[in-house]
Amino acid sequence: MKQTNNVTKEKTVEKHTLSVLVSYNLNALSRIIGIFSGKGFEIDSISFGSGKKSDLARITITTHGDVQIIEQITKQLNKIIDVVKVNDLTYDSFVDRELALIKVTATRSSRSEIMQIAQVFRAKVIDISPEKLTIEVTGNRDKVNAFIGMLYPFGVDEVARTGSVALKREFDGNV
Amino acid sequence: MAQAKTQTIDSATNKSQTPEPAVLNGAELLIRTLKDIKVDTIFGYPGGAVLPIYDALFDEHDINHVLIRHEQAGAHAADGYARATGKAGVVLVTSGPGGTNTVTGIATAAMDSIPLVVFTGQVPTELIGNDAFQEADIVGITRPITKHNYLVKDVNNLEQVVREAFHVATSGRPGPVLVDLPKDMLNTECRYSGLKKISIPSYKPTEEGHATQISKAAQLLSEAKKPLIYAGGGAVLGEAWEELTAMAERLNIPVTTTLMGLGGFPESKPQSVGMLGMHGTYYANMAMTECDVLLAVGARFDDRVTGRLDGFSPHSKKIHIDIDPSNIGKNVPVDIPIVGDVKKVLPSIDRQATKPDTEKWWDTINTWKREHPLKVPDSETTIKPQLMIERISHYTNGEAIVVTDVGQHQMWAAQHYTFNYPRSFLSSGGLGTMGYGFPAAMGAAFGCPDRTVVCITGDGGFQMTAYELATAVEYEVPLKIAIMNNECLGMVRQWQELFFNKRYSHSILKKGNPDFVKLAESYGAVGLRATNPKEMDEVLEQAMAINDGPVVMDFKVEEHENCYPMVPSGAALNEMVEGDE
Ligand SMILES: Cc1ncc(C[n+]2csc(CCOP(=O)(O)OP(=O)(O)O)c2C)c(N)n1
Ligand SMILES: [Mg+2]
């Protein structure tokens, strides 16, 4: 086959965190999700809430794909009339946090061990009953995953996660 | 000749003479605003939810409402009107089935970036979500096929939304916009404000190209040995034909157009190498394969154009100008991307570029042209499809607006009609919608009453919207409808012959086809038939003389003719099949 210059782009898959500022209406949110489902892009997590002004929402999307796919996602989001700004935070330094509530089986014998693990992760017990503990943890995605992983052996009943929210870091680290 | 008009949103200077009634209802406000935006034609169909609007239209003389016979055709008609005039096409339909019937038409317009504004009725606000009679979530249904859409719950937003809708539809990369209008809102009292400025902070299409990119592009073109311009629908929609022609002539660079770009560069000019792609000319596809610098102008590297990607223009550096950033680098990597309006970017490149030395390149191209021309096979007894197109081109001096349906006839029309004027070849390129041709041609005729409009259609596709003969007769639309009657779904038959062992599964129409002449006559239209080349000339001559209504010409053509050249799917552009002989 002939050597061509059409297939030069890197095809390595990367995780990206996109921060999207959009006017606060459900049609806009549907359009954003529709871009992903309709064009075969991936959503790893998505969170939606009001931004600084109440008529604008900030949506944080974590996704993955090769350079070309991420570029298309950004461009397609920008095309939505209601989208004010799309920031791919991956290229900046940024802070991201996710909150998770985990309901775990805790017998008399395992309860203190679970609470010790929670302490290591700076997680908080927010509900307690004779058989269960509900624990709140915040952190980046990896930390939340690790915490839930540590609880699995005890029996995780239910998990509710917010998905990541993220903002660009102000101080860029140069001194 | 095509008239390029752009809709003006800013109407500060055009206040109407009649005093404003102090209070109107939403429906009257809608019509008042449409008049202000200079909408002259609406393609519509009434129903319960839009009765207030139809009542407001009853005494309206500045807006011509055309009663189409099916909402799909209404959307196609508005699309044809838009493609022919450059203004937004306007559709008005009722809730529920009225809206859902427009979906194919909206999707067709979306794929080809055609400005439409579609108004749909909706059930009263308090009933939305209750599965009320004739309720459909049309905003949800059309979300992926509109550039933007709105549900107007508050009559105080109506005027603003209507103006925005036209602005969004016609600016940047154009596209369809839908506005959903609940019935109670239409009946609510309100005031007309005549507000002028439209500003959507989150929507600002980039029009000026980046200066450094433009210089780089100019330099690349100046140094090219084998340059090629590849012009798409954006060259027509962006009204850049003069700029394109000036540049290609001055720099003496060959120009190929896509199906959507036909007419964006005059095919009679020596620089034209015709259409490229699946059914493009041999020399266009070869030029694409061999060129060393490719300038893409408002094109999107569609798979029907590129053929197999790894064989697409493998030796070229690529410059891509497009108003839509998401088109750039989507299918094919580009060396010099330029986001901007082609009409503005082309002249700036032209100003900086010097004439490249293309003498050898032209020798090669001219040899290809000489050795592999498009062929019109000879026959005294049967009508060859290619000849049919050539005769239509002859009888209209190449000056008609040609509107096609989808299939073999569409490709032959694209190949054998000589297109020298923009906005003169209207065809569903992106979605490939059968049933598009006839209603779109009707829309074009409403938009351009001074031009000859010819619909070239298939015996299959014509039947998908043939009921619009009623509209064409009622409004005395002087349309020439030429049916290329091969008694089959020709393009399907061709693929079955070539790739499915001649197993003609459900593609032969012979038995069920109507007598198209009688069909036309039953609507009160003129019907004519030709079965050989001599009769064809007589029929065309007769048809050209009829100007007070539609003429249906049933041309019985050679049934087994295949459309060549053809790039089989999965093949590279230079792996064309050139035909039987
Ligand atoms: C709505 C729709 N359905 C199906 C197709 C698939 N299709 C493409 S071409 C074609 C045959 C068209 O036949 P005809 O209108 O007679 O035109 P011809 O190819 O014979 O010139 C079909 C079925 C389509 N493009 N659109
Ligand atoms: Mg046919």
pTM reported for the whole predicted model: 0.94
| Domains of chain B in sequence order | 23-191 (3.40.50.970), 211-371 (3.40.50.1220), 385-556 (3.40.50.970)
Q: Which residues contact B459 (CB under 8 A, 6 or more apart)?
A: B483, B484, B485, B486, B487, B488, B509, B513, B516
Give me the residue from A2, A30, A34 closest to B311, CB to CB: A2
Residue of A nearest to B317 (CA): A5
Which of the residues A2, A3, A4 would you substitute to probe the B interface, choosing the one with the greatest number of B C-beta atoms within 10 Å? A4
Tell me the CA–centroid distance for residue B456 and ligand 1, in Å. Answer: 13
- So what's the pLDDT on residue A53? 82
Mutation pick for ligand 1 pocket among B489, B497, B506 (CB with most ligand atoms within 8 Å): B489
CA distance A16 to chain B (A): 18
Tell me the CA–centroid distance for residue B483 and ligand 1, in Å. Answer: 13
Q: Going by DSSP bridges, is the β-strand pair B551-556/B479-485 parallel, antiparallel, or unpaired?
A: parallel
Q: Which residues contact B201 (CB under 8 A, 6 or more apart)?
A: A84
- So what's the pLDDT on residue A10? 55
Distances B369 to B190, B272, B282, B287, B503 between C-alpha atoms, Å: 65, 11, 8, 11, 35
Do A1 and B312 make contact, defined as CB atoms within 8 angstroms? no
- Atom from ligand 1 closest to the CA of residue B406: 9
Using the Cβ of B151 and the Cβ atoms of chain A, whether some distance falls under 8 Å is answered with yes
Residues 88-117 in A contacting B (C-alpha not used; CB under 8 Å): none
Measured CA to CA, the distance from residue B245 to residue B269 in angstroms comes to 9
**pLDDT at residue B14 is higher than 50:** no
Measured CA to CA, the distance from residue B280 to residue B260 in angstroms comes to 12
Q: Is the CB of B561 under 6 A from ligand 1?
A: no
Binning pLDDT at 50, 70 and 90, where does residue B147 land?
very high
- Assess contact for A29 and A59: CB atoms under 8 A: yes
Q: Where are the beta strands (DSSP E) in A42-155?
A: 45-50, 56-65, 83-88, 94-105, 124-128, 132-139
Residue whose C-alpha is closest to residue B567's, from B275, B282, B228, B260:
B282
pLDDT tens across A140-154, in order?
A: 999 999 999 999 999
Helix or strand (DSSP H, E) at B180: strand B176-182
Q: Can A10-91 and A95-168 be said to share one CATH topology?
A: yes
List chain B residues with CB under 8 Å of A9. 333
CATH number of A95-168: 3.30.70.1150
**Average pLDDT of B136-152?**
98
DSSP B88: P
- Give the dihedral sign, CA B553/B556/B558/B560: positive
**pLDDT at residue B442 is higher than 80:** yes
Q: How many CB atoms lie within 10 A of CB B153?
A: 16
Tell me the CA–centroid distance for residue B231 and ligand 1, in Å. Answer: 26
Using the Cβ of A38 and the Cβ atoms of chain B, whether some distance falls under 8 Å is answered with yes
CATH topology for A10-91 is: Alpha-Beta Plaits (3.30.70)
DSSP A171: S
> What residues pair up with A64 in beta bridges, in sequence order?
A15
Residue of A nearest to B316 (CA): A5
Q: Which ligand is nearest to the CA of B413?
A: 1
Using the Cβ of A2 and the Cβ atoms of chain B, whether some distance falls under 8 Å is answered with yes
Rounded to the nearest 10 degrees, what angle do helices B282-290 and B359-371 cross at?
Answer: 150
Positions of chain A with pLDDT under 50: 1-5, 7-9
Give me the residue from B202, B310, B329 closest to A4, CB to CB: B310
Using the Cβ of B205 and the Cβ atoms of chain A, whether some distance falls under 8 Å is answered with no
Q: Is the CB of B461 under 6 A from ligand 1?
A: yes
List chain A residues with CB under 8 Å of B145. none
Residue whose C-alpha is closest to residue B409's, from B392, B386, B438, B426:
B386
Distance of CA B258 to the CA centre of its chain: 12
Residue whose C-alpha is closest to residue B159's, from B11, B21, B15, B34:
B34
Residue whose C-alpha is closest to residue A121's, from A105, A140, A106:
A140
List chain B residues with CB under 8 Å of A6. 309-310, 312-314, 332-333
The residue whose CA is least distant from atom 8 of ligand 1 is B407
Residue of A nearest to B174 (CA): A79
Residue with structure tokens 């064809």?
Answer: B536
Measured CA to CA, the distance from residue B557 to residue B560 in angstroms comes to 9
Give yes or no for a cis peptide into B373 (omega within 30° of 0): no
- Name the strands in the sheet holding B227-231, side by side, starting at the edge strand that comes first in the sequence: B272-275, B255-257, B227-231, B293-297, B317-322, B336-339
Using the Cβ of A9 and the Cβ atoms of chain B, whether some distance falls under 8 Å is answered with yes
Q: Residues B407, B408, B414, CA angle at the centre, nearest 5°?
A: 100
**Average pLDDT of B128-141?**
96
Give me the residue from A9, A72, A81 closest to B333, CB to CB: A9
- What six digits make up the tokens of B558? 């050679």
Using the Cβ of B149 and the Cβ atoms of chain A, whether some distance falls under 8 Å is answered with yes
Binning pLDDT at 50, 70 and 90, where does residue B15 land?
very low
pLDDT tens across B283-338, in order?
A: 999 999 999 999 999 999 999 999 999 999 999 999 999 999 999 999 999 999 99
3-state secondary structure of B376: coil
Residue of B nearest to A77 (CA): B326
The ipTM value here is: 0.88
Using the Cβ of B148 and the Cβ atoms of chain A, whether some distance falls under 8 Å is answered with yes
**pLDDT at residue B183 is higher than 50:** yes
Give me the residues near ligand 2 (ion), CB cutoff below 5 Å.
B 458-460, 486, 490
The residue whose CA is least distant from atom 24 of ligand 1 is B434
Do B332 and A6 make contact, defined as CB atoms within 8 angstroms? yes
The residue whose CA is least distant from atom 11 of ligand 1 is B489
Alpha helices in B355-432 (DSSP H): 359-371, 385-395, 408-416
For chain B, what is the mean pLDDT?
A: 95
pLDDT tens across B460-517, in order?
A: 999 999 999 999 999 999 999 999 999 999 999 999 999 999 999 999 999 999 999 9
Taking phi over 0 as left and psi of -120 to 50 as alpha, with beta for the rest, B397 belongs to left
**pLDDT at residue B87 is higher than 90:** yes
What percent of chain B lies above the pLDDT cut of 90? Answer: 93
Domain range list for chain A: 10-91, 95-168
List chain B residues with CB under 8 Å of A30. 140, 143
- What six digits make up the tokens of B25? 């209802």
Residue of A nearest to B309 (CA): A6
The residue whose CA is least distant from atom 3 of ligand 1 is B434
Measured CA to CA, the distance from residue B5 to residue B85 in angstroms comes to 6
**Average pLDDT of B546-575?**
96
Q: Which residues contact B389 (CB under 8 A, 6 or more apart)?
A: B409, B412, B413, B415, B416, B417, B456
- So what's the pLDDT on residue B8? 40
Measured CA to CA, the distance from residue B285 to residue B274 in angstroms comes to 10
Measured CA to CA, the distance from residue B82 to residue B69 in angstroms comes to 19
3-state secondary structure of B363: helix
Using the Cβ of A71 and the Cβ atoms of chain B, whether some distance falls under 8 Å is answered with yes
Q: Which ligand is nearest to the CA of B556?
A: 2
Distances B59 to A17, B49, B63, B471 between C-alpha atoms, Å: 56, 19, 10, 21
Helix or strand (DSSP H, E) at B251: helix B241-251
Tell me the CA–centroid distance for residue B530 and ligand 1, in Å. Answer: 22
Q: Which residues contact B367 (CB under 8 A, 6 or more apart)?
A: none
Measured CA to CA, the distance from residue B44 to residue B66 in angstroms comes to 6
Do B333 and A6 make contact, defined as CB atoms within 8 angstroms? yes
- What six digits make up the tokens of A145? 């995953």
DSSP B577: B
Q: Which residues of B are catalytic?
A: 71, 133-134, 183, 491
